[in-house]
Copies of this chain bind each other. A is one copy, B any other.
Amino acid sequence: MNAFHSLFNPRGVAIVGSAAPGKIAYHLLRQVTEGGYEPVYAVNPKAQGAFGVSGFPSVAEIGQPVDLAVVAAPPQSMPQVLADCHQAGVSVVVVITAGFAETGNVAGERELVRLAGEYGIRVVGPNCAGIVNTHHRLFATLEVQPPAGGVSMIAQSGALGGVLLAWAKEHGLGIAKFVSYGNRADLNEMDFLRYLAEDAETAVVALYIESVGDGREFMRAVEACTRRKPVVVIKAGRSGSGRRATLSHTGSLAGADAVYDAALRQCGALRVASMEEMFDLCKAFTTVPPLRGRRVAIVTNSGGPGVLAADRAEEVGLSVAELSPELKEHLSAFLPAHCALGNPIDLTVEGTEEGYRRTLEAVAPEYDAVLALNIAPAYLDSLPLARGVCAAAQGSPSPIVAAFLPGPIVAAAVAYLEAHGVPNFATGERALAALALLAEDSARRPMVRLLPDPPGGTHSLPGAGPLLEPQGMAWLKENGLPVPEFRLAADEEEAVQAAHEIGYPVVMKVVSPTILHKSDRGGVVVDLRDDAAVRAAFARIRQAAGRDLQGAILYPMIRDAQEVLVGLSRDPQFGPVVTFGLGGIYTEVWRDVALRVAPVDKAEALEMIRQIRAFPLLAGARGRPAGDLDRLAELLVRVSHLPFEYPDLAEMDLNPVFVLPDGVWVGDVRVIPGMAP
């Protein structure tokens, strides 16, 4: 924590590098002095200063306490710079300088980290865009200087951080801290997450990542934050080409995007796709208290924009519920008949200071949030309307947010709104999209409980190659999974015997190491009702299998079940991942799959089951009885532990799993052993 204190609240800052006009260190000196931070020193061989800052040939020669060095000197000078910093007692260096691992100079970067470690100096970067702490007036970055506030951003891409800071300045978003960590040779996103979790000046954390190192450590670091404050994440590389680009420009292996999605959800972060969404959401989090629910009202002076906002609200999962009769009556006491007393409430020409104020005051108690939407014509001053909105917002039982537009026409009104704590969004639609995510955060974050990894087991699978079905089923049974009674039969007579033991009707399936798609090869015969049928089926299976026949496996016939798929895989970043869906076309065409980083507990497993869009089929839609979701969830929990107990379990599919009203049964299994990770 000491290093972070030195980083964001240093007693003195040295800007290391040529201070000649146009050079990076020159721009940094301007930024730092313009920001108002002192004391700052310029360090370069010529001892050149700029912007009133004195120059020194080395940090050591400054002779005053310097905790932080921001370095824009050439890569090859780094050993010397570090030695100098060490001598001067510097705790942290922020290395803006590029030309390390990102351009292939891996050795230079390793040496940088090694030396710093030796000196006990922590490193941000190299190849980064610097840091900001508005509350310390410290702007050691080349980006725009934003106003002070509660949003802290951690950005793998300096440029994207720069966009947020520039918009923050342009549209009034308060920033606490900003750090661009570049190649993350030493300090990385996880370190900053853990620090910002405890940082009192940070109310919400914005995170831009392209990849992470250890996925599970990352999740724990995010959760450390979300236990205290919201975390908004952009994870780039959702698409094929995006991921390709991510790989090439960060040089690290990226896990599947769907796994990132699940992982972020599990540790309580909110994922957004664009900088605009991130901006809006940060603004909402720093100005709006947690939402109690999803009921919103829209109060507007113009029908069309009100309707578009309502459309969007429902698309993002908010409820634009009708006004209560009492509220309608209350409103009609002061609003004339030409106002539409629905939701949206269209004030038309009653969209005055008084109209907005009284309507918002009346509406707010009935809703979880209210949007005051105002489309200003060019000839009218919107400032009084802003006053009306702010008066209503004062002491309102529900948050009121605004969307005053368009652009310059409403500049004074928007400034008034923001100065009085009512956030203004670019459009009504964007305001509502942010509110929807706020509601999601309120509902979800308190429930987050990241499970620790179970202790690593030492069991081994009963084989080094893919398991045959009887092996797989026996292994599942040993491990407590609901496997139906089964028998292996080597010939017709054993099959008949097995059928008697199981009881008719039965199902028979081929057992062969070379037949992967049993159904396609005529290797599955269902609903066998007597001995003759069993004998005939075995003969057919024998013929289908040819030389590789290892027998047939028999099960009781299970009818009228809903079939589901439960899968296990290992992600390069996040390790064991458990998957749930209906299988077949539901998975392949609709990608209707729920996925979690393993292990999961029963509550999370039930969430997975409810998450798929085909859930109605399991819950008893279309005249079917409801499935035994309780046992299905227990099966998911059990499966999610297997890869920890069996380090050599690479992949597994239970497909199908039969879900009945009073139980679940594994219908088939495919187990792929692999190297222990």
Contacts and interface: CB of A to CB of B under 8 A. Distances in A.
Contacts of A308: 160, 234, 236, 242, 273-275
Contacts of A195: none
B27 A237 contact: no
A589 B30 CA distance: 59
A138 to B, nearest CB: 16
A124 to B, nearest CB: 17
B302 A408 contact: no
Contact of A274 (B104, B145, B427, B617): B427
Interface string A315-341: 100001110000000000000011010
A208 interface: yes
A208 to B, nearest CB: 6
Interface string A466-509: 00000000000000000000000000000000000000000000
B241 A310 contact: yes
Nearest to A237: B307
A405 to B, nearest CB: 6
Contacts of A27: 379
A153 to B, nearest CB: 12
A427 B279 CA distance: 13
A368 interface: no
A410 to B, nearest CB: 9
A233 interface: no
A619 to B, nearest CB: 11
Contacts of A616: 585, 588-589
A185 interface: no
A305 interface: yes
A407 B320 CA distance: 33
Nearest to A275: B427
Contacts of A248: 340, 342
Contacts of A244: 322, 342
Contacts of A343: 241, 245
Q: How many copies does the complex hold?
A: 2
Contact of A157 (B145, B166, B304, B337): B304
A419 interface: no
A322 B240 CA distance: 11
A617 B585 contact: yes
Contacts of A315: 238-239
A291 interface: no
A313 B239 contact: yes
A156 B408 CA distance: 24
B590 A406 contact: no
A47 interface: no
Given A349-B98, A589-B616, A242 B307 contact: yes
B163 A405 contact: yes
Given A166-B407, A304-B156, A338-B103, A236 B311 contact: yes
B303 A245 contact: yes
Contacts of A103: 337-338
Interface string A144-175: 11000000000111111011001100100000
Contacts of A241: 310-311, 313-314, 320-322, 342-344
A429 interface: yes
Contacts of A158: 302
Contacts of A346: 245, 249
A557 interface: no
A391 interface: no
A102 B337 CA distance: 10
A303 B209 CA distance: 12
Kindly name the residue among A145, A250, A585 whose own CB sees the greatest number of chain B CB atoms within 10 A. A585
A310 B614 contact: no
Contacts of A94: none
A613 interface: yes
B273 A312 contact: yes
Contacts of A314: 238-242
A143 B163 CA distance: 31
A302 B245 contact: no
A429 B274 contact: yes
B157 A303 contact: yes
Interface in A213-261: 234, 236-242, 244-246, 248-250
Contacts of A405: 163, 166
Interface in A507-536: 520
Interface string A271-299: 00111100000000000000000000000
A584 to B, nearest CB: 7
Contacts of A313: 239, 241
A409 interface: yes
Nearest to A616: B589
A1 interface: no
6 contacts: A160-B305, A160-B375, A170-B408, A238-B315, A588-B616, A589-B617
10 tightest A-B CB contacts, nearest first:
A157-B304, A159-B302, A166-B406, A239-B314, A241-B320, A159-B375, A103-B338, A242-B311, A236-B307, A27-B379
